[in-house]
Amino acid sequence: MNKAAFSAWILLVACLVGSCTLLPQSQPATIYQLPAATDSVRHAVERRCSLRIDSALASGVLTSSRMIVAHDNTLSAYPGIRWNAPIPVLWRDYLLEAFQRDGRIAHLSSDDETLAVDYALSNTLQSFQCECQGKTIHVLIRLDARLVDVQSKRIIASRQFSAWQPLAGEQPPQIVAAFGQVSAQLSRDLIDWTVQNIALTPQVVLPEHH
């Protein structure tokens, strides 16, 4: 990012900090989707079990559909743009699609459906935002994940995940692209971790190999 662009961004953040109040609903806003991962590889089914992806837990501005900017320990909303769903639902739907693209777990659903499942993946979002630190600006997603055996209600595994990506520019499409790159990286790590931990549980019935 050149000096002029960085200065423009800092000016924007300076106008935003000090208030996390969302803009009036009547003000026009550009709606963005979280870009779907395009570099994922379709695997053969490894685990013939069912997994539910739960909506992420979050608090404060992370429950809204606004794009969040963090600067000097202050969270504010980027003006005039928003996601196409509240962040917890946005992230859940992204993860569900990522698991479907991956293909290693046979049966997938979300907490929108009242289905009996073997496992549930829940997570608490700690960060889903742009961050300004010194002269660097990046997108950060950080979450605490829990894999639960639904029948026993036992936590099989838990771990914190995080990923970040510097911005290529300060315009909204460039910011959204960075969110897409971070989401793809984080979802790959989360899927690998989930599949590996399910494989360690005795309840899983592995597919037959011929």
Region 136-147: mean pLDDT is 94
Distance CA 34, CA 83 (A): 7
Residue with tokens 């790590």: 189
Q: If one looks up domain 3-18+45-199 in CATH, what number appears?
A: 3.40.50.10610
The pLDDT score that the predictor gives to residue 62 is 94
* Confidence bin at 86 (pLDDT 50/70/90): very high
CA-based torsion, 141, 59, 97, 83: positive or negative = negative
Distance CA 179, CA 163 (A): 10
Distance CA 112, CA 124 (A): 17
Q: How far is CA 50 from the centre of its chain?
A: 21
The 8-class DSSP code of residue 94 comes to H
* Higher local confidence (pLDDT), 17 or 92: 92
What percentage of the chain reaches a pLDDT higher than 70?
79
* Higher local confidence (pLDDT), 17 or 87: 87
The pLDDT score that the predictor gives to residue 10 is 46
Domain extents in the chain? 3-18+45-199
Q: Contact at 8 Å (CB) between 146 and 121?
A: yes
Cβ within 8 Å of residue 154, ≥6 positions away: 148
Segment of 20-29, 74-83, 85-94 carrying the highest mean pLDDT: 85-94
* Confidence bin at 15 (pLDDT 50/70/90): very low
pTM: 0.81
